[in-house]
Amino acid sequence: MAQAGRIELSRDQARRCLAEVNEARLRSLTTGSLFDLLMLGHSFRLEIADPRLRDLAVGLLPGDLRSQL
């Protein structure tokens, strides 16, 4: 949605995904999908509310991607 210029829809979807995330969902994402979700959240100034899950999400990324956040 973001790539197609549907910014408001993309923001709403990112907000929903970040609000509903849990450990199993984080672990089920590919590295690329997890990175994209976190970058999208960052660009919209959104984040995972639970600090433990936020740390897990970042920790699941390889160091080179982690440093880009």
- The model's pLDDT over 12-38, given as tens digits with 9 standing for 90+, comes to 999 999 999 999 999 999 999 999 999
Residue 1 pLDDT > 90, yes or no? no
Print the domain residue range for 50. 7-66
Q: Give CA–CA dist 51/44, Å, rounded.
A: 18
Rounded to an integer, the average pLDDT of 36-43 is: 95
> DSSP readout, 22-55?
-HHHHHHS-HHHHHHHHHHHHHTT---SSHHHHH
**Residues 6+ positions from 2 with CB-CB distance below 8 Å:** 10, 40
Q: How many domains in the chain?
A: 1
pLDDT of residue 18: 97
2 in any annotated domain = no
Q: Indicate if the pLDDT at residue 2 is higher than 70.
A: no
1 lies in some domain: no
| pLDDT over 90 (residue 4) | no
